[in-house]
Amino acid sequence: MYLLGSILASAVLVAAQTSTLIPTSSTPSAVPSSSSSAEACAKIAKFTGDTNNIPAKIAHDCLTSVPVAVEEDEALINQLKLMWEWNSETGWLKNTPETWDRGSLDLISELDKIKGNLSNYDSEYDVHLAIQKLSIDTGNYHFLFGSDILSIFLFWREVAMTTISDDGLKVPNTYVAGDIIAQHADDGVSISPITKVNGQDVQEYLEKIADWEQYTNLDARYNNLLFREAKPGSLVSPAQVFYGVYDDAATTVTFKNGTTRRYNNIATVSGVAENIDWSEVTDGKSLFKILSKLKTAADEPDTSSAAQKAARHLSRRTLIPRDNTNYPEPVVNHSDAMMAGYFMDTVNDVAVLQISSFDTSSVDNSTESSREFQRLVKEFLEQCQDKDKKKLILDLRENQGGDVDLLLDTFMQLFPAEMPFSAQRYRAQDGYKRVGDALNEIKKNDTAQEEFDSNWSEDILTTHWDYEDYVDVNGDSIPDWDTWLGPFTYNEDNFTLTSRYNMSNSNKNSVLGEGFKFENPSSGPPIFEPENMVMLMDGLCGSSCASFHEELKNVAGVKSVVVGGRAKEGPMQALGGTKGGTILSFSEMSQTIAGMINATEALGIEGFETPELKALANPEVLLRRAGVDGQIQIQDQVRKGDSSESTLQYTYEDADCRMFWTTKTLFEPQALWAAAWAAHTDENKCVKGSTKQPSSISGGFKPFGAGGLKGSMEQDDTATSTGGLTRKFSLVACAATTLLSFLL
Ligand SMILES: *[C@@H]1O[C@H](CO)[C@@H](O)[C@H](O)[C@H]1NC(C)=O
Ligand SMILES: *[C@@H]1O[C@H](CO)[C@@H](O)[C@H](O)[C@H]1NC(C)=O
Ligand SMILES: *[C@@H]1O[C@H](CO)[C@@H](O)[C@H](O)[C@H]1NC(C)=O
Ligand SMILES: *[C@@H]1O[C@H](CO)[C@@H](O)[C@H](O)[C@H]1NC(C)=O
Ligand SMILES: *[C@@H]1O[C@H](CO)[C@@H](O)[C@H](O)[C@H]1NC(C)=O
Ligand SMILES: *[C@@H]1O[C@H](CO)[C@@H](O)[C@H](O)[C@H]1NC(C)=O
Ligand SMILES: *[C@@H]1O[C@H](CO)[C@@H](O)[C@H](O)[C@H]1NC(C)=O
Ligand SMILES: *[C@@H]1O[C@H](CO)[C@@H](O)[C@H](O)[C@H]1NC(C)=O
Ligand SMILES: *[C@@H]1O[C@H](CO)[C@@H](O)[C@H](O)[C@H]1NC(C)=O
């Protein structure tokens, strides 16, 4: 349970309801400032009663008093290196393009540097923070490192901030969110913009702390910090995916009118650490001892099926806010708040399909939820047709991804004559090759295959090697394992064949969402022409949402408008979430390898095991200390028609137009939608310098379209709308019993 979430949610709610400022200066229990850090851990017990309001400094002093566990960290890093070799982008990251603002990163050699330098770190916390920073610096939120010591406390502050422009075009000022809320409720309230935070220029400060956000570009990282409609923003809440980063005892805000306010920084004991009896903690050493005895989720047997495991997704699920009264009456409204459809009261013929999540993994009945999603998209489109709506805004703000089948289905409902591309590949390194070689040998022997299926397949995520369940970029079957394996070398790294889902495949191992069927509307013209559609983005869309954006942009030719970003003019990328494929948790990875070792031994298949695979089969320290939230991304994705076959993640893509937030668009979705539509249709309503960028459709980027590819990934100019990949080819002909629910 994340106490933090509820504290913040209610703080924001209270602020919104009473129009008071977001927490002013509620001084937590005073702490003698003379307290030496050595004793900090012993003080925690005093604060862990009702409030959980531990002064951030005490929590941080406690963490940094835990001595470095040198031997254990060496083992952990050795095991992590083996795990990270499987990450699809480990090679690509070593040589990133100019446009990648994080710069190149050699994950493995950076881990070695930390390992070689363990005795120079001040504390165990600092070591793990350094490892976590590497995962953050990939900019890919599918690639996660968290650990026991990092997850004891969540750090947050009692102040949220937001940027507001007078008209959506002028460079915005930064305000305390509570001030904006108060002024929105009462014009008479006089407020002043922020000039400095902790003595530093406010923009420099925000850009600095945005460095801890796990998004691909700085505008997206910056956006995630800030207060957004019904979201506190991570400036308040933990500064990245799961954990907060300590940043001083307080946040001092200086306003333009000369006023200064001081907000406390707070630490909350998080889920994993709730079972700690703090009265037993006397210092850093004893905290570490207790921590090592805590039962973590990774210790518990995982009873879910292989298919369910493959579909699991550590999601940061975002929902359509329930408490927001500013939405118009919805035309359709998903009961798990994943999507809703609206007709605007103010702009007559514009309909809005808001999709806040594709993720059904955390709802009570994901089958039901998924069916409802499909049904409501269908119903909404029918209503649009009935009411003669000709224009559509796809509001994808906050959408962090989810089920692949839903994104594909939604795309195909919007464009019944077009086929999504959705291509991916694996990193063809030694471990991946060995598993595939062994599985391939098993396949050649019916007896062995039978034994394998009945005894081992539950533990092993064979789906990542089942080339039969995929098709190549042209939609043709993949003849054999060697064709799939390649390797194909790009950017000095090796990959498997770029491949796509077989949309008509009903094989149980590739089919993950029980009984999923595409709606499969009869092939015909779309209800909305692509030029009468626009995606409304906020930089935070990623994973399945990024795939949805990719199909809409590169196959259908739909433009985008993005909102927010740094407080300066110029272009902004439409999305900053990951554009990668399927993920695997550390424990799924090691279980697959352990299962393969057992299976190859039992079936008499020789030469599978290597010292590396043996270690990866049982990475004891890694699973014990960092198994709960650890995951890698096992597939990257590739753009249709990109002859360089670059990892899509590193493709720089500006939105077609950018707007800044105004108070009105921040609080009133209809005002935001109206502004987005106006900007989509009139470039004078776009921030200066934000339109006609070469990577955007308005600047000349040519969507590949729905046509087929010729043999390789080369654009086929002759194939337009009736190439090899028509819907008929793989959907209609095959009764569409596909169940595709890989989660991106
Ligand atoms: C070793 O770690 C210390 C403490 O974090 C750091 O200041 C130093 O730069 C590191 N040295 C190397 C060679 O990485
Ligand atoms: C100065 O600005 C702050 C922040 O908006 C506000 O709370 C305060 O009332 C202002 N002071 C004056 C004198 O207007
Ligand atoms: C959508 O439905 C939920 C109940 O499932 C409800 O709480 C929410 O207020 C509805 N949203 C709107 C905008 O009416
Ligand atoms: C979930 O929903 C599906 C489809 O409505 C239904 O068939 C199934 O029985 C439900 N499962 C549970 C556990 O309620
Ligand atoms: C494996 O499965 C077969 C049935 O296919 C069964 O007869 C055999 O006992 C199993 N072997 C092991 C080691 O479990
Ligand atoms: C890629 O594969 C080729 C052929 O198997 C091999 O020689 C080469 O060393 C590999 N490169 C990398 C970076 O792994
Ligand atoms: C896709 O899967 C279906 C059903 O398993 C199969 O019949 C078809 O041959 C596959 N398509 C290709 C191109 O391999
Ligand atoms: C592999 O075999 C060992 C020894 O029999 C057993 O403890 C372990 O659970 C097996 N692991 C898997 C993933 O099958
Ligand atoms: C096929 O697999 C079985 C079971 O592992 C094994 O006994 C047999 O020798 C294998 N046959 C061949 C031709 O490899």
What is the domain-level CATH number for residue 668? 3.90.226.10
Which of 238, 259, 276 is the last residue before a domain boundary? 276
- Does the residue 566 lie in any domain? yes
**Residue-level pLDDT at 270:** 79
Using CA positions, which residue lies closest to atom 1 of ligand 6?
A: 494
The mean per-residue pLDDT over the stretch 580-599 comes to: 95
Phi-psi category of residue 248: left, alpha or beta, with phi > 0 → left and psi -120 to 50 → alpha: left
Is the domain of 225 the same as that of 360?
Answer: no
Q: Does the structure show a pLDDT above 80 at 719? A: no
Mutate to test the pocket of ligand 3, among 333, 342, 345, 668 (most ligand atoms within 8 A of CB): 333
**Residue-level pLDDT at 156:** 85
Q: Does the structure show a pLDDT above 60 at 183? A: yes
Report which residue type is found at 491: N
Residues linked to residue 155 through DSSP beta bridges, in sequence order: 267
The mean per-residue pLDDT over the stretch 65-73 comes to: 97
Is the domain of 258 the same as that of 172?
Answer: yes
The mean per-residue pLDDT over the stretch 121-128 comes to: 96
How far is ligand 6, taken at its centre, from the CA of residue 496, in Å? 12
CB 300 within 8 A of CB 314: no
How far is ligand 5, taken at its centre, from the CA of residue 531, in Å? 59
Q: Which of 157-171, 224-238, 422-436, 673-687 has the lowest mean pLDDT?
A: 224-238
Mutate to test the pocket of ligand 6, among 482, 493, 494 (most ligand atoms within 8 A of CB): 494
**Residue-level pLDDT at 722:** 29
Is the domain of 215 the same as that of 350?
Answer: no
Is the domain of 562 the same as that of 613?
Answer: no
Relative to the alpha carbon of 603, which ligand is closest?
Answer: 9
Report which residue type is found at 598: N
Nearest by Cα to 400 from 577, 259, 137, 239: 577
Average pLDDT, the chain: 85
Tokens, residue 139: 């900019």
The mean per-residue pLDDT over the stretch 8-18 comes to: 31
Using CA positions, which residue lies closest to atom 7 of ligand 7?
A: 505
239 or 275, greater pLDDT = 275
How far is ligand 2, taken at its centre, from the CA of residue 257, in Å? 6
The mean per-residue pLDDT over the stretch 488-508 comes to: 86
**Distance between CA 535 and CA 619 in Å, rounded?**
43
Is the domain of 676 the same as that of 569?
Answer: yes
The mean per-residue pLDDT over the stretch 105-132 comes to: 97
Is the domain of 437 the same as that of 418?
Answer: no
Relative to the alpha carbon of 604, which ligand is closest?
Answer: 9
- Does the residue 448 lie in any domain? yes
Relative to the alpha carbon of 441, which ligand is closest?
Answer: 9
Q: pLDDT tens-digit profile of 418-430?
A: 989 999 999 999 9
Q: Does the structure show a pLDDT above 60 at 87? A: yes
* Ligand 7, atom nearest to 507 Cα: 5
**Residue-level pLDDT at 312:** 36
The mean per-residue pLDDT over the stretch 96-119 comes to: 98
Report which residue type is found at 584: L
Q: Which of 231-235, 307-311, 410-414, 632-636 has the lowest mean pLDDT?
A: 307-311
Burial 130-166 (b: 16+ CB within 10 A, else e): bbbbbbbbbbbbbbbbbbbbbbbbbbbbbbbbbbbbe
Using CA positions, which residue lies closest to atom 4 of ligand 3?
A: 335
Tokens, residue 209: 């702390």
How far is ligand 4, taken at its centre, from the CA of residue 464, in Å? 28
**Distance between CA 184 and CA 689 in Å, rounded?**
29
Residue 112 structural domain: 70-95+103-137
**Distance between CA 141 and CA 576 in Å, rounded?**
10
**Residue-level pLDDT at 230:** 66
Is the domain of 689 the same as that of 672?
Answer: yes
Residue 168 burial by Cβ neighbours in a 10 Å radius (0-12, 13-18, 19+) = buried
Tokens, residue 98: 């100019």
Q: pLDDT tens-digit profile of 136-180?
A: 999 999 999 989 999 898 888 889 999 999 999 999 999 999 999
Q: Does the structure show a pLDDT above 60 at 309? A: no
The count of domains in the chain is: 4
Q: Which of 299-313, 338-352, 372-386, 730-744 has the lowest mean pLDDT?
A: 730-744
Q: Does the structure show a pLDDT above 80 at 16? A: no
**Residue-level pLDDT at 459:** 85
- Does the residue 245 lie in any domain? yes
Is the domain of 417 the same as that of 455?
Answer: no
How far is ligand 8, taken at its centre, from the CA of residue 595, in Å? 7
Is the domain of 576 the same as that of 705?
Answer: yes
- Does the residue 710 lie in any domain? yes
How far is ligand 4, taken at its centre, from the CA of residue 506, in Å? 20
- Does the residue 414 lie in any domain? yes
194 or 717, greater pLDDT = 194
- Does the residue 301 lie in any domain? no
Q: Does the structure show a pLDDT above 70 at 597? A: yes
**Residue-level pLDDT at 522:** 82
Which stretches within 162-279 are classed as H helix? 177-185, 202-209, 218-225
Instruction: Give the global pTM.
Output: 0.90
Does ligand 3 come within 6 angstroms of the Cβ of 333? yes
Under the banding of pLDDT at 50, 70 and 90, the label for residue 18 is: very low
The mean per-residue pLDDT over the stretch 171-192 comes to: 95
* Ligand 6, atom nearest to 487 Cα: 2
**Residue-level pLDDT at 513:** 54
**Distance between CA 691 and CA 699 in Å, rounded?**
7
Q: pLDDT tens-digit profile of 599-644?
A: 999 999 999 999 999 999 999 999 999 988 799 999 999 999 999 9
The mean per-residue pLDDT over the stretch 517-523 comes to: 84
Is the domain of 687 the same as that of 675?
Answer: yes
- Does the residue 146 lie in any domain? no
The mean per-residue pLDDT over the stretch 546-554 comes to: 98
Task: Enumerate residues 6+ apart whose C-beta is below 8 A from 59.
Answer: 40, 44, 152, 153, 155, 246, 267
- Does the residue 260 lie in any domain? yes
CB atoms within 10 A of CB 280: 11
How far is ligand 9, taken at its centre, from the CA of residue 434, in Å? 19
**Residue-level pLDDT at 689:** 98
Q: Does the structure show a pLDDT above 90 at 506? A: no
Is the domain of 369 the same as that of 233?
Answer: no
**Residue-level pLDDT at 578:** 96
Is the domain of 550 the same as that of 410?
Answer: yes
How far is ligand 4, taken at its centre, from the CA of residue 379, in Å? 21
345 or 88, greater pLDDT = 88
* Ligand 8, atom nearest to 591 Cα: 13
